[in-house]
Amino acid sequence: MKQVSLALSVILAGLAITVASCDSEKPYAPAAKTDTAATAPVSDGALISAVGSPGQADNDEGVSQYKQGNMDVAIDRFQKALKSDPKSAEAQYNLGLSFDKMGKHDEATAAFKQAIALAPANPAIKDSPTLKKHLGA
């Protein structure tokens, strides 16, 4: 009986922490469903790939490396993603972000031009302050 009581106490404590961390001021709104990956910025603007993209694994590993500050590894992964999927606007954009972080501004500008050409209507790309800085938009 003590084990059940202890297990119940642990569960209730976890539930109390979860409820306390919820923002009850905001109304619940389910996420919108799309056919592509979420394009919300991830850590300083890096974007995950579209689901099913041939370069998805490499791009998403690049995002992870980018978030950790490993720009050389991130660039390598984004370039591999682009070899697998040359039309990946996300990988192209992420490549531009990585080049920018390394101070390679000519390369960043070229990557951003490609990204905007591939996805001119994607707000996560076209509204990026870093991209705008490079393209003078």
pLDDT tier, 45 (very low <50, low <70, confident <90, very high otherwise): confident
Residue 21 lies in a domain: no
In terms of pLDDT, which residue wins out, 8 or 120? 120
More confident residue, 101 or 49: 101
Is the residue at 22 inside a domain? no
Whether residue 2 is contained in a domain is answered as: no
For residue 4, is it within any domain?
no
On average, the pLDDT of the chain sits at 78
- In which band, very low, low, confident or very high, does the pLDDT at 6 lie, cut at 50, 70 and 90? very low
Domains: count for the chain: 1
118 in any annotated domain: yes
Domain assignment present for residue 24? The answer is: no
Q: How far is Cα 56 from Cα 65, in angstroms, rounded to an integer?
A: 14
- Residue 73 tokens read as 């590894």
What is the extent of the structural domain holding 86? 32-135
Q: State how far the Cα of 135 lies from the Cα of 70, in Å rounded to an integer.
A: 25
| Coil, strand or helix at 104 | coil
Average pLDDT on 110-127 reads 94
Write the DSSP symbol of residue 121.
T
Residue 103 within a domain: yes
CATH code at position 67:
1.25.40.10
Looking at 25-34, 40-49, 53-62, which range is the least confident one? 25-34
Residues 29 and 135: their CA atoms lie apart, in Å, by 35
d(CA 135, CA 137): 5
In a domain, 128, yes or no: yes
The per-residue pLDDT for 103 is 95
- What pLDDT, in 10s, does the model give residues 62-113? 999 999 999 999 999 999 999 999 999 999 999 999 999 999 999 999 999 9
Please determine, for residue 7, whether its predicted confidence score (pLDDT) is greater than 90.
no
pTM comes to 0.68
